[in-house]
Amino acid sequence: MNEEENLQLFKALSEETRYKIIKVLLEGEKCACEIPELIGKTQSNTSMHLAKLQDWGIVKARKDGKMRLYSIDDEKVRKILKIAEE
């Protein structure tokens, strides 16, 4: 992990909405349509943050029919949050 990747990861974790998205996705793959309700944010706000997390390589998306499914793409996220929660 290089310095830029570290900075992006910590930026993601330091912003409340992105942190909540990551926590939800740590539980497993979720449809873009269900994430806003799970984190208590609007669809447009959530979409903006999901796009940023995807740009940073923290989450990945795949299409299943009309649904867009998101999941964690960087296993370091799991390790860091596990350490933080101990």
Q: Which domain holds residue 69?
A: 3-85
pLDDT at 76: 87
The count of structural domains within the chain is 1
Residue 51 belongs to domain with CATH number: 1.10.10.10
* pLDDT class of 84 with cuts at 50, 70, 90: confident
Q: CB count, 10 Å around CB of 25? A: 22
Task: Read off the pTM.
Answer: 0.88
Q: pLDDT tens, 31-83?
A: 999 999 999 999 999 999 999 999 988 999 999 999 999 999 988 888 888 88
Question: Looking at per-residue confidence, does 5 or 16 come out higher?
Answer: 16
Residue 60's beta-bridge partner residues?
Answer: 71
Distance set, CA 27 to CA 20, 24, 78 (Å): 11, 6, 10
Q: Is 49 helix (H, G, I), strand (E, B) or coil?
A: helix
